Amino acid sequence: MKIIENQILTELHLSDLQNNETGVITKVIGHGAFRKRITEMGFVKGKFVKVIKNAPLQDPIEYEILGFRVSLRRSEAALIEVVPADLLAVGTESNFEGTITDDFIEQVIAEKTRTINIALVGNPNSGKTTLFNHATGKHEHVGNYGGVTVDSKEAYLKQDGYTINITDLPGTYSISEYSPEELFVRRHISENMPDVVVNVIDASNLERNLFLTSQLMDMNIKVVIALNMFDELESKGNKLDYDNLGKIIGIPIVTTVASKGEGIKALFSKVIDVYENRDSVSRHAHINYGTNVEESVKKIKAAIKKNKQISDLFYPRYAALKLIENDKSFAAQIAEFPESEEILSVAKKEIANLEKEYKEKAETIIADAKYGFISGVLKETFEQKLVNRRYTSHAIDVILTHKFLGFPVFIFFLWLMFQLTFSLGSYPMDWIDAGVGALGNLVTNILPAGSLRDLIVDGIIGGVGGVIIFLPNILILFFCISLMEDTGYMARAAFIMDKLMHKIGLHGKSFIPLIMGFGCNVPAVMATRTLENRKDRILTMLILPFMSCSARLPVYVLLISAFFPNNQGFVLLSIYIIGIALAILVALLFKRIFFAKQDVPFVMELPPYRIPTLRNTSVHMWNKSLQYLSKMGTVILTASILIWALGYFPRDVKYSKDYNSIREQISADASLSGKAKADHLAQVNVHQESERLENSYIGKLGHMIVPLIQPLGWDWKIGVSIITGLAAKEIVVGSMGVLYQSDMSADETSMNLRNKLQQQTFTSGPRIGEKVFTPLVAYSLMLFILVYFPCVATIAAIKKEANMKWAAFTMVYTTVLAWLVAFIAYQAGSIF
């Protein structure tokens, strides 16, 4: 027998089958009363079920199973996974005679039931994503502060004959309603119903981490605890009887050290045991919230059980507790169901009774009870050594978060990062530059003269090669940012910046997306989800483009190394500081124009300092290099070819001079030496090529925008490079490589782009013959690159996280502001 794998393994639900179709049940998801009721009716794995008909309004649906008829709502049928019987028939050999052997059915069911869907849930900074990376081989970015995982990530692994699909959910302290992450995690667990939830706990902070565990207990789902960073707990001399703790709370616990890959195989073996219901510890344990609360839970549960749609989707006790907590988002979700008015009415009445009795808000009553339960189980199972377990972190913080020393230390770290970017990056940068030049010369010698050689040498090698040489600088920048994140210093930076952030209308936590923006604006925009307030999220997105991402770095490195060789680190730091200053000014302006005053408390964990592992830092750096290299082969390659083509055509240019006659005259001039003739001929070639380029399609485009860029001191080639940089900022360098390459004479082809920029002169206009690039022009150009139009990917991210209105506004206002900043810098610099 054979299985058509991609068909058999396609996930189908009973609700997907059409009238008269038959399926074999492979899995029943859901929980509690629904699962018990559906199982008692015969809906268990391996049973055939046939669709008889849909009701006139397509809901409910009548099925036949075990010889009798039963109707299920479509929502209930959606919780039963099946394999269509006709696919099973096709999957057998050609001698199929209308029956399917039991062995084959068992094979297919085994294939389906040995697929386990799990979700990783845990507090920020608990090591959840590190565990995900080690388990699956994925290389997501790991940082030692909250909010790194800003979206869910999926991967799978195979172990002991099982396929385990893993979803890494955003880090969250609870599953309440206070942030998008909390709602996302809660909805994923409720609606996707993973077979097992792996709750990753930081062993060095048990009490706070177990609060989320207590909420998972309320949901009556299968949970396995990964007690992560267990080595830190033991190194501090603390003792935890985790076996006994697991028995008390009904959740098996496996110790792990995710950063070293320890305990991960044992963790997933335990997941398999819990999935197969063969773990003796796994059970549903209730938290006793006290007589009054339990009486209220009982009353609300009774109302919920009357509504099968709600009780099938949510465990009734969990739903009752969420309503008592006065969770507005959950209440709104319940209100969407028909006949839910009684439930909400009972809940409202019980909340009023409890708050009158306890003289506290209902959510505080539940939270206090949870922490009381956690405190009780830890007294029985946890023995803490009486020392300050974070003494080292506190000692370091005396300096790094000091009232007066904190800012100078932070600025020093930024300066050091930028100085290393140049000093260390210059060596491999020169090697790559030499390699690109050698490759260009090799291709020039191998290929005959013509369009193909020009395309490869000037378009592809000149364009892409001009950008790829900056890869070492970008790697060093990302390495430094990763170090700050992995050690825990990034959270301290947010701490010392909170007051400044608050004064410009932002939350201190906004500083983390802003710092991430130095690496790439796209994940930084996504990281704004960690901000609870929508106003903070949008305002942070609007000023994020002023954080110089790594895509702008090649432009800075090119211009600074060419025109500011003696103060490279300082000049680069000044660009970044100006970006931050502009972000502050714009935030103050937008706060007054768009956003009403709405403060949000600054609540953020300061994680203990940790020594970063070389693996995590290297993986982060390598992933960013892959992203950069992938741009080389896609966006930048395409743009370089397009720019080359626009500059190469048309070929039938009418020149203002007869350059061939001029060359003949020079060759025939007996008064000139051989070297003088060569120099004169080279100069003629440069003038002819410059005139040809000005009459090409890209030259015409450049001259169209000259009135806009002339006040900035630019020539048309800079204008064209700016236009091409709308897609990705690295393309600015690629464009310059293509546009300025052709201006060089034959004996100058080995000169790098920096030298070529230094020699550029205006070929038309009032400044003809003058140098195009001066330190002032270079600096104003860097300021323009800093501010103008974020790349297309960033705009798409803003559109996704906010809406198209804010994305369009960002495009327009940044470009207008960029022109104003560059104009002021150039004109003021020209005066002084």
Q: Chunked in runs of 10, what are the mean pLDDT values of the chain (832 residues)? A: 42 82 80 68 80 81 83 80 71 44 60 82 85 78 49 82 88 75 82 89 88 90 92 85 92 91 92 90 87 91 87 85 88 87 92 89 88 88 68 68 79 80 79 85 89 84 73 78 76 71 69 74 72 78 88 87 87 90 88 66 57 73 69 71 83 86 89 85 78 82 88 88 78 75 39 76 78 92 93 79 89 94 93 81
Backbone angles phi, psi at 256, to 5 degrees: -140, 155
First to last CA, the chain: 86
- Environment class of 408 (CB within 10 Å of its CB; exposed 0-12, middle 13-18, buried 19+): exposed
For residue 575, give the nearest of 589, 562, 560, 561 by alpha carbon.
Answer: 560
> What is the pTM for the complete model shown?
0.62
3-state DSSP assignment of residue 324: helix
pLDDT of residue 8: 43
Task: Work out whether the CA dihedral 263, 269, 271, 277 comes out positive or negative.
Answer: negative
Backbone angles phi, psi at 619, to 5 degrees: -60, -45
3-state DSSP assignment of residue 14: helix
How far apart CA 332 and CA 706 sit, in angstroms, is 57
How far apart CA 120 and CA 122 sit, in angstroms, is 7
pLDDT of residue 213: 93
27 and 45 Cβ atoms separated by less than 8 Å: yes
Measured between alpha carbons, how far is residue 314 from residues 207, 296, 707 in Å?
A: 27, 18, 65
pLDDT of residue 30: 66
Structure tokens at 589: 């302006």
Max CA-CA distance within the chain? 113
Tokens 């773990």 sit on residue: 279
pLDDT of residue 560: 92
Measured between alpha carbons, how far is residue 681 from residues 409, 670, 750 in Å?
A: 57, 14, 18
783 and 822 Cβ atoms separated by less than 8 Å: yes
Backbone angles phi, psi at 290, to 5 degrees: 100, 155
Q: Which residues pair with 253 in a beta bridge?
A: 225
Q: Which residues pair with 262 in a beta bridge?
A: 257
How many other C-beta atoms are found inside a 10 Å radius of the C-beta of residue 614?
A: 8
Backbone angles phi, psi at 196, to 5 degrees: -140, 140
Helix runs in 566-636, H state only: 568-593, 614-631
Tokens 């000023």 sit on residue: 543
How far apart CA 460 and CA 444 sit, in angstroms, is 13
How many other C-beta atoms are found inside a 10 Å radius of the C-beta of residue 210?
A: 24
pLDDT of residue 298: 93
3-state DSSP assignment of residue 504: coil
Ordered strands of the 162-168 beta sheet: 153-159, 162-168, 115-122, 196-202, 223-228, 253-255
pLDDT of residue 631: 61
Calculate the dihedral angle through the C-alpha atoms of 756, 758, 764, 770, rounding to the nearest 10 degrees.
Answer: -150
684 and 663 Cβ atoms separated by less than 8 Å: yes
Calculate the dihedral angle through the C-alpha atoms of 701, 706, 709, 711, rounding to the nearest 10 degrees.
Answer: 180
Measured between alpha carbons, how far is residue 450 from residues 456, 457, 493, 648 in Å?
A: 10, 11, 56, 11
- Give the amino acid at 310: I
Helices and strands (H and E) in the chain: how many? 41, 14
The two beta strands, 68-72 and 153-159, are unpaired
- Give the amino acid at 286: H
428 and 736 Cβ atoms separated by less than 8 Å: no
616 and 486 Cβ atoms separated by less than 8 Å: yes
Q: What angle do CA 761, 762, 766 make, to 5 degrees?
A: 140
